[in-house]
Chains A and B, each alone.
Chain A
Amino acid sequence: MAVAEHAAHAPAGAAHAHGAGPADGRPLEYRDPHQSVKILGFWLFLATDMLLFACLFATYLVLRTHTDGGPTARELFDIPGFTAETFILLTSSFTGGLATLCMRNGNKKWLMAWLAVTMLLGLSFVGLEAKEFAADVAEGANMQRSAFLSAFFTLVGTHGSHVSVGIVWMFLTLLQVARRGITEITARKVFIVNLYWHFLDVVWVFIFTVVYLSGVVM
């Protein structure tokens, strides 16, 4: 019987998981049941985070037209700006995916490189968004001006602060990979932070369509 079965919080079936060698076809981050249960937990967390955004979207849709005589979506949104943001974030999701791929191949150097590229793209996304917000506020379109603007800044800003947290988190992960190499634990960490990153990308696709595109079209 494998040792893992006696681990404190080893999930059921642990014995089989541990006994199998690397050749069992399962990716590194899933091999140790201690780590794979964390991935499940993170999926559940993403479900709650998705619902947070769903509530913010609902609020935005209700308040979208409540501009109180102030700036409207059409007047405010800057098409080249949000298009650039979209491209940058989508690209970062791709480079994040490349990082996971390199991790699976055991290529530490490229894993770190792609994580760094992803973070840089993330940083420029956040920078562009901050610039956009600053320009809006300079025109008098601030959160306090109307319900529409309150909802807009809160929804998009919540996404932006998620991205910022993601950057810091990715940096911490990068440090750990640098120090410890690709292990079952660091692999799980890289996998989860990328999951988070892709999730934010999906949320952005909704922001892009529901907020920006329909804002300038309607």
Chain B
Amino acid sequence: MTTPRTLFQKVWDDHVVVPETADTPAVLFIDLHLTHEVTTPQAYTELRNRGLKLRRPDLTLATMDHSTPTRTEQVFGGVPIAVDSAAKQVKQLEINAQEFGVELFNLQDSRRGIVHIIGPELGLTQPGKTIVCGDSHTSTHGAFGALAFGIGTTEVGHVLATQCLLQRKPKTFAINVVNHLPAGVTAKDLILAIIGKIGVSGGTGYVLEYRGAAIEAMSMDERMTICNMSIEAGARAGMIAPDATTFEYLKATPRAPKGADWEKAVARWSRLPTDAGAVFDRSVEIDAASLVPMVTYGTHPGMVAPVTGSVPASGDAVFEKALKYMGLAAGQVISDVPVQNVFVGSCTNGRLSDLRKAANVLRGHKLASGVKMLVVPGSQSVKRAAEAEGLDQVFKAAGAEWRESGCSMCLGMNGDLVPAGHYSVSTSNRNFEGRQGQGARTLLASPETAAASAIRGRVTDPREFTH
């Protein structure tokens, strides 16, 4: 009998070109290289300087998402991109894609969107693949049972030139989520609770595998929300075993295998889940049934509390500094925190089901006075689907702005910024100092909590709006 293996181990084994030794890391083959404008220009310069070609254009895809505008008149109306350097960066991606023969979804392409939204949408993200991108939230794609992780620009160059990476094998960490999430508690709340439990560096050196009843019951959108934030626990990758839910999602996508190839692929993918008896290097158990909606109150995603709770106390100087930045004090009731800004979007919660959930809370309500709300679909395809359902009308009727797709206020590279000192309930993944703008105070939460907070003008438990 062969040794039982984890999902991670199987995908790793399938991609070893040259095994690792004591002296050298493994050469690992990469099945899909996703790229965007921010982390690639210097890699293409390197290729050019060395006279190298792109080895596998057929396994490479480029989109623009980080520094692109979200105002319709800037995307489609010919109004130039406001920030000069951003305009240049977008232009440079066009030049590089053309020169090296990479398929590019440019600014006006109907398939464009945040890199981690479009990979799955197209069906390029598949179980058992190795997927990389010069972007830490590449972990998102692990929701399909792929081994997907972020890399730096030097490594982007390695993959462009050789379709391979030098890697030491990481360890494995099972996150066992037992029981089911109560009504009104979401995937975002669960991942925030997991990060709160294992800490922002608890996953460093590991690949996480999320397992258990609550995970199995999730839709692909929810699983992507979970895997997306693996990096916020320090893990480069998070994975979920592929199952019928995965296959059903992929079947409808344009670039998934078709016909006889589909049957073969499903048979192959069905062998990927972790074998009974496989050993993880570490494991932790979380009881989903005990959770409530969660929100962060500090300057890293591990500083998280129940929306029904209060800001905890700590004697730690770094903790105090974070609270000072946030303008909060220990003991303060979370639901008393005022809110001036709400952002719904990002690769964490910018998919159609996320927009539906926010709209369901908002329908028939208005934003509280003084609240600005920005809704930014994760891709142009999400945008079209949302408009077909009339979700844009719900947001606009409530007083929110409805934009073209992109990273937008998740990191504010394109000028979509939260003013200094403002509290921003955001469905994105990072609440670092200045992430959404200099001095901006970010509270991470689910789309439901974001929408409920927009209505009340303070942090609000969305279960108050359950109809």
Indicate, yes or no, whether A interacts with B.
no
